[in-house]
Structure 1
């Protein structure tokens, strides 16, 4: 059977159409982070079937920049206030992050024989978009990382949501309203500073440097209340759809048999992450007077977007949950460049 040859423009249009269809289908059936997972799954399936997936470099750069700006806008003065109010909780969050990442990394390295960069990016809990972007700039195996991260997230949401529906009764609820009203001055300041941060991150040549630089610039501006509006959800969703094209394009027809082969590693990573996070959350519940539903959502090794939405739907204080996931995102974003360089150095010396 002869395959239809597509030029770059045709392949790009088809790739975006496939990703968009997957994103909206995922949203319709209720998948977590539908615009990322749906587009990733749809493009991966298309690529596995032999369809040519393509995305121009300028569009990829734009996505990294916009996702960094959007992630940084999750930081606010309220995030800082939460850290001051609950220092023990944030300390245990850091302990949980180290435990989940370290134990999963050792399991993948020693138990499954994975290389260092692949094991590292597969082990990091949450910050899915940044982890995948950063991994693209290394020699890590994107197929393994995508399988482990996506399956862990799907299992996490699938198991956590029904459980929390039971324990979230009478949990404290605080309504947090996001400001989407931009002024020209705010937009200009955020764009210029974000672009400067992205360029600085790019020239430092750290994994995910462009996204990290834009993220830090946006986080500083929002944390200092110099900018209060957040990136409109529609723009962020478009960025996630395009990111799904990038991720899915890393998997080709030659990887079909590998997907099933990596399922045991993904399930093991889910178990390790859940157990380590549960132990840290239990310590916070034992020490502090915080509702267990809040702690469970804040410490779950998943994604900010999905778990904050669950917090809203279950009547759980979203500010506590969101602040912890933003803090974990920043911890991961700041640690990844150093860990990746260290792993590259150790592998070079061997």
Structure 2
């Protein structure tokens, strides 16, 4: 969308990267403060790091990943490589075909890859541009964090869902990053991922219309 509107891709990329980085740093202490979650218990013990599902379950998970990615592209889902496998895996688990979980070591590896992918967006960018984008992104992230905390607490009071799950669901960060945080901390990953799927779907539908109206004005 940014490329299609002639916006500065460097500023947009850096702003999103810094915003996600700030939110990922801030989320754990905020969750522990408002969500009554013991993050120490969310860390798997040494024996669980390399716990692997059986051959049949491994096959189902791989099929959900590969088949879901293909299906997501065919359906033109937003972020097809994330939500296609998520929908395929959810279908298999809801149907009772498998109850397998992703090994913690793979979840940790995914977090490392996401961290690296955020960092490489700063390549070839001047410090002045990074500084301006960083100030804007930090201010934006803090405002969004406060809004998400208020919304999460209201959602918690109205629905009974945990404040931690509501915070991760309402946080306007990257869908892969926040879904992975929910998975790694064991905070209702299905609830969080469903909210981000809906959010990104609405944005993908509405943003082009808003951009066209702004260009026409």
**Structure 1 residue 188 displacement after superposition:** 1.8
Q: Aligned partners of 1:143 and 1:334: how far apart in 2?
A: 24
* Aligned position for 2:194: 330
**Structure 1 residue 282 displacement after superposition:** 4.0
2:86 is the counterpart of 1:219: no
Gaps of 5+ in 1: 1-115, 119-137, 311-317
CA contact (8 A) 1:152 1:266 kept: no
CA contact (8 A) 2:182 2:192 kept: no
Matches within 5 A, 1:126-165: 141-158=12-29, 160=30, 163=33
Report the number of matched residues.
Answer: 193
**Structure 1 residue 209 displacement after superposition:** 1.1
* Aligned position for 1:344: 208
Structure having the higher Rg: 1
Moved over 6 A (4+): 307-310
Q: Which of 250, 258, 280 in structure 1 is aligned with 2:129?
A: 258
2:166 is the counterpart of 1:299: yes
Matches within 5 A, 1:227-238: 227-238=98-109
Describe the shift of the 1:279–1:335 C-alpha distance in structure 2 as closer, same or farther (beyond 3 A).
Answer: closer
TM-score (norm 1): 0.44
CA contact (8 A) 1:148 1:262 kept: no
**Structure 1 residue 117 displacement after superposition:** 5.8
CA contact (8 A) 1:195 1:214 kept: yes
Q: Aligned partners of 2:120 and 2:53: how far apart in 1?
A: 34
Describe the shift of the 1:254–1:218 C-alpha distance in structure 2 as closer, same or farther (beyond 3 A).
Answer: same
TM-score (norm 2): 0.66
Matches within 5 A, 1:103-118: none
CA contact (8 A) 2:72 2:80 kept: yes
Q: Aligned partners of 1:261 and 1:253: how far apart in 2?
A: 15
Q: Aligned partners of 1:224 and 1:210: how far apart in 2?
A: 22
